[in-house]
Structure 1
């Protein structure tokens, strides 16, 4: 059994802040709060997954195997970050493994329920997609900055 998410929790996560209160309540009605302990996996790379999450508290490490036995940590997610967006946008196959770094609480939404709600209420759909796009843009920028750092040599040249 999971606790129900509240509109206040979603507002703290910046999800649906521009929605009228009735829409915030409707969005919260399909959301649950789930808890994970350190070292638990939320999902594995390559698995089909049917949930999307926002982190309330704690942290999660995203890891990729990239064909080698030991997975490499790529990114650590914290409060407000989205997790498993590819389940919603890209057909449900996970592109990384999500390992809990410390006790963590997540707001979890079933992908099909969220899709149904977004199709039935286009304002909710627009605001959810706007939020997803913003989060993904931030993650893309962070990745670009990591690549710049990776290819920057200590003497200031890019050789």
Structure 2
């Protein structure tokens, strides 16, 4: 936590854009953040909304260190912001810390992939009779 700085982000703030350089991450203290993907011809599609206690941002960990999703606040958000390079340097000298961090990030990646898959199936999956919705 010595590397964290407290930030407050107003409602409707774009925190990062899909494809941009990923050089930091946040732990959400209060408020909610919508994670979205750019859908050609449709604009942004929200794939998950995260809140207090959630890790926001893992793309900094792996090359090419670009955001895989976009993020926007749904209301005011309070968070701890971390500089990714400083955290990486700390973990290099403390392998147990690095392993714990990578484990948390791997769990987050798995959760985000499942949420994205579910949302994309809702948007583009096969439709039931008369287009009534996704097939159960």
Determine if the TM-score, normalized by the shorter chain, exceeds 0.5: yes
TM range (shorter): 0.7 to 0.9
Map of 2:108 onto structure 1: 135
* Aligned residue pairs, count: 131
| Runs ≥4 residues deviating over 4 A | 144-152
**Which of the pair has the greater relative contact order for Cα pairs under 8 Å at 6+ separation?**
2
Q: Which residue of 2 aligns with 1:59?
A: 32
TM-score, normalised with respect to structure 2? 0.80
Gap regions ≥5 residues in structure 2 = none
Q: Which whole-Å CA distance do the structure 1 matches of 2:3 and 2:64 have between them?
A: 20
Q: TM-score, normalised by structure 1?
A: 0.70
- Give SS of 2:106's match: helix
The answer to whether the 8 A contact 1:52-1:88 is kept is: no
Aligned to 1:95: 68
Map of 1:145-156 to 2, 5 A cutoff?
Answer: 145-146=118-119, 150-151=125-126, 153=128
**TM-superposed deviation, 1:148:** 6.0
Give me the CA root mean square deviation.
Answer: 2.5
State how far apart, in whole Å, the 2-side matches of 1:119 and 1:44 are. Answer: 28
Does the CA-based 8 Å contact 1:51-1:88 persist in structure 2?
no
61-70 or 145-154, which deviates more: 145-154
Deviation at 1:136, TM superposition (A): 2.0
Report the CA distance shift for 1:66/1:81 in structure 2 as closer, same or farther (over 3 A). same
